[in-house]
Structure 1
């Protein structure tokens, strides 16, 4: 797995703005090089804030939204349009404001979708969509996503992969149904860690003091069953993008003043 680079911003608002700007640059560069790009979206407070900032970013239209594939890392298994669904929040924050190709917006199935109230069937359907988008050089029936955005929960969960849950032992499937999640709603659909690790870049996002302990565990070598965020790594690059409160428990050397980039208000360091 790739080494981890930590970037710390002064507060949550600046973190969301900076991640949005970073994502614009990444997508534009990828589209210029290859013609299209793909990103895995995340929900949660900071994930949705990034999408709102992206919708308002001056450089937003530098991205060719018609040549962008959008996937989700997880979803609450609720009816389509439910305000708690990550898809619903992403559409309100960003997708309703840009010219996306509906065929390239790959939302996870809803509980009133073609599989009905069957999360296992819905997970299998999403896995089929991933496999259909997979090129010959990709592995495991999962596209090589350009960027996978993931929020880090205070218990170290990413996507809907919670500590100690059976989904963390899954090595063959790309998408799983999650039942009995400790955070409501209890039924969800999630990419597995093996699918997440097919991404070129994984960007872990966290803001707030309540995430500090989890972030500290996530950047260290740790068992992914106990600390799912420690298993979320990109093939080439892993970024941990934080505000200062979320970085509070990191070793001082990791966020030393020598890492400050003049004019950017951010601190960077790299972990092997």
Structure 2
């Protein structure tokens, strides 16, 4: 029997030695985006209550941008938790190395969906460089972004606190711009240049797995039946070299937030 919408279970990652991942299933992509948006607002508000500020790593793609749009909508609603957007740092999990005004830019989409709407201050928006910026090569852009992370980190560390890191997942199991069997899978640098991606545009800059796995919480947002096999295999303990999504986890929590179609191949009980 398969898991059903509304189910919330813990899935032990086979042989991983890591805490179990939480699996939450919503009936469809629309309700998934709304639920994730509400959860992000609650988590950021909680982080601000403890630290005075919060940090969010955003992702692109249809589901990632849909979540940002719904977060912006919540800012106008009388919800229980509220976020001070002037005290939220925004980072990116990956970016397409294209010109700044290209519609493919995750930054451009995120600004239109959320950042410009809620007024995140410019100094708290940590965008990855575009191809028409100061760096002609993605390797130099990646090194610069690693430096930005280090500058924002506590003394003695190379990475700042990420309260929530959002990730989408491709049907072949890629996350951020880390694709199966690519050099980025085994790269131990916090930020990597990625060339010859199988999905256009081919040149990108991405957080590496060490930076992703430094987040307090990693949330994977997955919708659609075409991704169901990769979801099941990742939660079943697949080799991250084959399915990079299987290699991501948060320091405190890992959450798979799925619609019913994406969860279709999960067995009962995860």
Same fold (TM over 0.5): yes
Q: Is the 8 A contact 2:95 2:105 kept in 1?
A: yes
When normalised by structure 1's length, the TM-score is 0.90
CA contact (8 A) 1:54 1:60 kept: no
What does 1:198-213 align with in structure 2 at a 5 Å threshold?
198-213=214-229
Q: Which ranges of 4 or more aligned residues in structure 1 deviate by more than 2 Å?
A: none
Partner of 1:26: 43
Residue 252, structure 1, aligned to residue 268, structure 2: yes
Distance 1:214 1:49 in 2: 21
SS of equivalent to 1:253: coil
2:257 pairs, out of 232, 241, 244, with: 241
Deviation at 1:252, TM superposition (A): 2.1
Quote the offset at 1:62 in angstroms. 1.4
**Which residue does 1:93 correspond to in 2?**
113
Which of residues 99, 104, 111 in structure 1 aligns to 2:131? 111
Q: Distance in 2 between matches of 1:199 and 1:2?
A: 14
2:35 aligned with 1:15: no
Partner of 2:139: 120
- How many pairs are equivalent? 250
CA distance in 2, matches of 1:239, 1:34: 22
TM superposition shift of 1:60: 9.6
Structure 2: segments with no counterpart, 5+ residues: 1-17
Determine the C-alpha separation between the residues in 1 that align with 2:225 and 2:110. Answer: 25
What is the deviation of 1:222? Answer: 2.1
1:46 deviation in Å?
0.5
TM-score normalised by length of structure 2? 0.90
Partners in 2 of 1:74 and 1:2 — Cα distance? Answer: 26
Cα shift readout 1:137-195 (whole Å, capped 9, x = no counterpart): 6x4x1112110000011000000000000011112x10000000000000000000011
Structure 1: any 5+ residue segments left out of the alignment?
255-272
Cα RMSD after superposing both structures: 1.2
2: CA distance, partners of 1:61 / 1:243: 24
CA distance 1:86–1:61, change in 2 (3 Å):
farther
Counterpart selection for 1:65 from 78, 82, 85:
85
**Distance in 1, Cα, partners of 2:55 & 2:123:** 13
Aligned equivalent of 2:163, options 135, 146, 155: 146
Specify the alignment match of 2:101 in structure 1. Answer: 81
Q: Within 5 A, what are the aligned runs for 1:184-223?
A: 184-223=200-239
2:45 and 2:81 in contact (8 A); partners too? no
| Counterpart Cα distance in 2 of 1:76 and 1:61 | 33
CA offsets 1:213-263 (integer angstroms, 9 cap, x no match): 111112122211111001110011000000000000111232xxxxxxxxx
Paired residues of 1:24 and 1:60 also in contact (CA < 8 A): no
Partner-residue secondary structure (3-state), 2:149: helix
